[in-house]
């Protein structure tokens, strides 16, 4: 059974149909890639899944439970973590204190017994996992002075600290160097290895197609193609819509 079922979701902003009749099944412990030109409705779909936007029509089921109508924090507490395309750290807090907020959430408190006081240590462990050097001063620096790469890692760390079951990564690799991407890829593979599900919106197709199990292609709010990475690469329509005619 699919862990996340999206059925006939439609959303329009004014006259523009951002997402039109989209249905996707996400199988447990797989990596679903979502690609498509800018403005094709990928982020809107993520906003609908995570409760930030209410769709005009359609429904989303997580393990058989309807998500539409629930507020974002309840959906997060159910186990759907979401990283933002535009990084949204808590700028006034040190990096490791950024994780205190998700560690204080209902989901973490109910699963870990909510011991008070050792959150800093847990936060530092998670930061080390995503590549903050523990013995340097980086985890203690205020988020506003951290470079972009670290802020992206911080987004990932937030999802890990929430013990999410579905990781929705909205253009996690945008603005990162190749070296940074190659150092983050193993973290995503580890997340998958631990039995979680990952949904990635990505423009870096090379890296995405290496790890994705299934890829869907968006254009003008509709899914124009769905299949294994290899099929997508060979599809003529996809090439035209997104990849450019010469590949």
Partner 1 sequence: MKNRENYRKERIDRCIKARSDDIYALSSYKEMWYLIFPRVVPIIGIAILAYFLPLYWKKVVITTCIFAMLAVSWDFLSSCGLLSLGQALFFGIGSYTAGCLNHYFHFPIYLTIPIATICGGFISTILLLPVIRLRGIYFAMVTLILPLMLARGIEATHVFGGNEGITGLSPFPNVWVELTFIIAGMWAALFALRRFISSDYGLIFVSIRDNDRATMASGINIYAFKAQALFIGSSICAFCGAFMTHLYMFTGIPVFTMEFSILPIAASAIGGIGTLAGPLLGAFILVPLSEILREFGSLRVVFYGLVLVVCVVALPEGIFHYLSRKYNEMERWVRLE
The binding site for partner 1 (CB under 8 A) comprises 50, 52, 71-74, 76-77, 81-82, 84, 88-94, 97-98, 100-102, 104-108, 116, 119, 140, 158, 162
Shortest spacing between CB 87 and partner 1, in angstroms: 9
Residue with tokens 């040190």: 94
Shortest spacing between CB 68 and partner 1, in angstroms: 16
Shortest spacing between CB 76 and partner 1, in angstroms: 4
Sequence-separated (6 or more) residues with CB below 8 Å from residue 186: none
Distance CA 71, CA 67 (A): 9
Distance CA 58, CA 5 (A): 11
Shortest spacing between CB 18 and partner 1, in angstroms: 18
Shortest spacing between CB 65 and partner 1, in angstroms: 16
Shortest spacing between CB 175 and partner 1, in angstroms: 18
Taking the least distance from each CB to partner 1, the nearer of 3 and 83 is 83
Q: Which of 201, 195, 157, 202 is nearest to 3 (CA)?
A: 195
Taking the least distance from each CB to partner 1, the nearer of 40 and 76 is 76
Taking the least distance from each CB to partner 1, the nearer of 86 and 178 is 86
Residue length of the chain: 247
Neighbours of 1 (CB within 10 A): 9
Residue with tokens 């992206």: 152
Shortest spacing between CB 101 and partner 1, in angstroms: 5
Q: Which of 211, 229, 233 is nearest to 31 (CA)?
A: 211
Q: What is the DSSP letter of 19?
A: E
Taking the least distance from each CB to partner 1, the nearer of 110 and 182 is 110
Taking the least distance from each CB to partner 1, the nearer of 76 and 219 is 76
Rg (CA), the chain: 18
Which token pair is 37? 């030109």
Distance CA 103, CA 116 (A): 10
Q: Give me the sign of the Cα torsion angle 158, 18, 62, 109.
A: positive
Taking the least distance from each CB to partner 1, the nearer of 123 and 223 is 123
């Amino acid at each position: 059974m699919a862990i996340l079922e999206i059925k006939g979701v439609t959303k329009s902003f004014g006259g523009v149909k951002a997402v039109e009749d989209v249905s996707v099944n996400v199988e447990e412990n797989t990596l679903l890639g979502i690609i498509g030109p800018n403005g094709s409705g990928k982020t809107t779909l993520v906003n609908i899944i995570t409760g930030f936007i209410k769709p005009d029509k359609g429904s989303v089921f997580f393990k058989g439970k309807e998500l539409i109508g629930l507020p974002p924090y309840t959906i997060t507490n159910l186990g759907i973590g979401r990283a933002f395309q535009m990084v949204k750290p808590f700028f006034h807090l040190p990096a490791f204190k950024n994780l205190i907020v998700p560690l204080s959430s209902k989901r973490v408190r109910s699963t870990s017994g909510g011991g008070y006081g050792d959150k800093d240590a847990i936060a530092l462990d998670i930061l080390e996992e995503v590549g903050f050097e523990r013995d340097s001063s980086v985890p203690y620096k205020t988020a506003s002075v951290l470079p972009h790469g670290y802020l992206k890692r911080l987004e990932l760390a937030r999802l890990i600290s929430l013990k999410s079951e579905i990781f929705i990564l909205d253009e996690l690799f945008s603005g990162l160097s190749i070296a940074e991407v190659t150092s983050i890829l193993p973290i995503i593979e580890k997340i998958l290895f631990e039995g979680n599900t990952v949904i990635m919106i990505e423009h870096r197709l090379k890296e995405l197609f290496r790890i994705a199990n299934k890829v869907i292609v968006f254009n003008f709010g509709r899914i124009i193609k769905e299949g294994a990475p290899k099929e997508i690469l060979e599809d003529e329509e996809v090439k035209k819509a997104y990849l450019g005619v010469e590949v």
